Amino acid sequence: MKILIADDSLLVRERIRELITNNENLEIVAETDNGLDALRLVTETDPDVVILDIRMPVKNGIEVLIELKRRGCRAKICMLTNYPYKQYRERCKAEGADYFFDKNTDIQKFLDLLDGFGKQK
């Protein structure tokens, strides 16, 4: 599965990269630290999974989610955030996000999801 990571934290992107590196069925096709580049990179790389942070410069993750759905993007959209507030969770769900994870409390669920993706062919 091809994965695109959009998160303004280099540390988070590096951590996800480390976790994915050992799975031969997962490939990071692009990384960015802002929403505008995420939109461009989705078009260029056609990922199967897009991991979006909510708070990013230029365009936030919710704006990117809305635009991707408007464009008919078929990738699974996974919101991964330090801002797991109810209103964000509900908005992301309403806008079509497939998954919503809190970076602090849901990290094992997120890792299990990646592992599951890695087992798909």
120 falls within a domain = no
Here the tokens at position 3 are 């994965």
Q: What is the pLDDT of residue 19?
A: 82
Residue type, 10: L
Here the tokens at position 5 are 């990571």
119 falls within a domain = no
- In the chain, the percentage of residues whose pLDDT exceeds 90 is 69
Domain count, the chain: 1
pLDDT at 7 exceeding the cut of 70: yes
For the stretch 30-70, pLDDT in tens is: 999 999 999 999 999 999 999 999 999 999 999 999 999 99
Identify which of 56, 52, 64 has the alpha carbon closest to the alpha carbon of residue 4.
52
Q: What is the pLDDT of residue 114?
A: 84
Residue 88's domain comprises 2-112
Contacts of 68 (CB under 8 A, 6+ apart): 39, 42, 50, 75, 77
Q: Looking up tokens 């992301």, which residue turns up? A: 92
CATH number at 79 reads 3.40.50.2300
